[in-house]
Amino acid sequence: MTTPRIVACFGLLALSPLTQAQTSPTSYSITEKGNSADAVTTVYRSGSKALAIVNEPAQGSTPATRIYSLYDIAAGINYTWSPDTNPIPCSSGTFSGDWGDPFAMTAELTKDIASGDVKPAGTETINGIPTLIYAGSNAQASEKIWFDQKDGLVMRAQVTGAGAPLMTLVDITKVSLAPPDPSLFVLPPGCANQKPPRTPAQLMTDETGDDAANFVNGSYGPGSQTSCNVVLRVVQAKTMTPISNIQVAIDTTYNRDNPPHYESGVHNDGTETFSGGGIHEITDQVHNGVVSLGNLPSYFMLDVNLIRPNHGSGAGLVYRQCFAPTTVLLYVVKDYGQPDESVDVLWVKAGRYAVLPAH
């Protein structure tokens, strides 16, 4: 199930402090209306296994469809298939972080608690479940949520932007906390024999040659509460050798609720110019692929340009994670110089790369 998260889009919501002590259940069946007309998603969970079934009704000449997605939460592997196709095609993939847990929205909301931006606004029973209503607004949007405090679940969430129609982000119609039928979590034959892809942890180990437990992906929030000085290292995957012919730009004033517009110009030799927001270049401080970024906020925008003709870069949001007074941030370039070149941004918790490189 794919559910838009209110905090990620608007950063407004906060819930009662009473929700902080709750632990989300790991056995349930929850049905929710989808984003398209009459679409319905049901999520079944039993411990580390979850099954999301999306039912799309027929529309005109397009027949109704059912899509099944089975998640092995502990392993970070998912399988997707349609039971109405013969033979049943199956695809597999990996994931990390939120896989579509209906309780994930509450977990995110409780982290932004006590801001006072959302106030109690009465009570209402939603599909037989008593809820507390919270409402709030800012210059960009107003929103209203119905919260089942007993089970710690957002039953309904609606938002209205300036000049935009009302949008329902969440609309849960049925909740059961009884353990689902175990047969739901059995893969069809077309999936059972499929070799799963490598997990994010396995890929991380392959990239760095170190235990994946020593790293945290910097692309996922929230940022740590504690602050630290940050040293950036730009390296090639597998060999971990430094990449020195680079440009580095950073914006420590980036605001997710009011993001700036960035512009960059690329010269024939592959160097770039950076503008927009508070982004500024610090390339003159780079030494052999290493640069001190200083004491950073809980999230910031980072742009690393690997200088080559006809090659550009792109800024990416990084969430701060601090594991020492000075923490190393690895910018790991995979398939360096190849058409499918990509990067991972990894915070170093421990291990060989936690040691600051000598200048």
Q: How far apart are CA 305 and CA 243, in angstroms?
A: 11
Q: Please answer whether residues 352 and 211 qualify as being in contact, where contact means their C-beta atoms are separated by less than 8 angstroms.
A: no
Identity at 11, one-letter amino acid code:
G
Q: How far apart are CA 25 and CA 119, in angstroms?
A: 26
| Residue 203 in this model has a pLDDT that exceeds 90 | no
Instruction: For tokens 């990067």, name the residue.
Output: 343
**Domain coordinates in residue numbering, the chain:** 6-192, 200-354
Q: How many CB atoms lie within 10 A of CB 239?
A: 9
* Across 295-320, average pLDDT: 92
Cα distances (Å, whole numbers) of residue 328 to 16, 42, 214, 349: 36, 42, 11, 8
pLDDT digits (tens, 9 = 90+) for 127-184: 899 999 988 887 777 888 899 988 889 999 888 887 778 888 889 999 999 999 999 9
pLDDT digits (tens, 9 = 90+) for 3-43: 333 333 333 333 344 444 467 899 999 999 866 667 899 99
Q: Please answer whether residues 280 and 291 qualify as being in contact, where contact means their C-beta atoms are separated by less than 8 angstroms.
A: no
Listed in sequence order, the residues at least 6 apart from 259 whose beta carbon sits closer than 8 Å to its beta carbon are: 277
The CATH architecture to which 6-192 belongs is Clam (2.50)
The rounded mean pLDDT for the chain is: 86
Instruction: For tokens 């209203």, name the residue.
Output: 144
* DSSP at 296: -
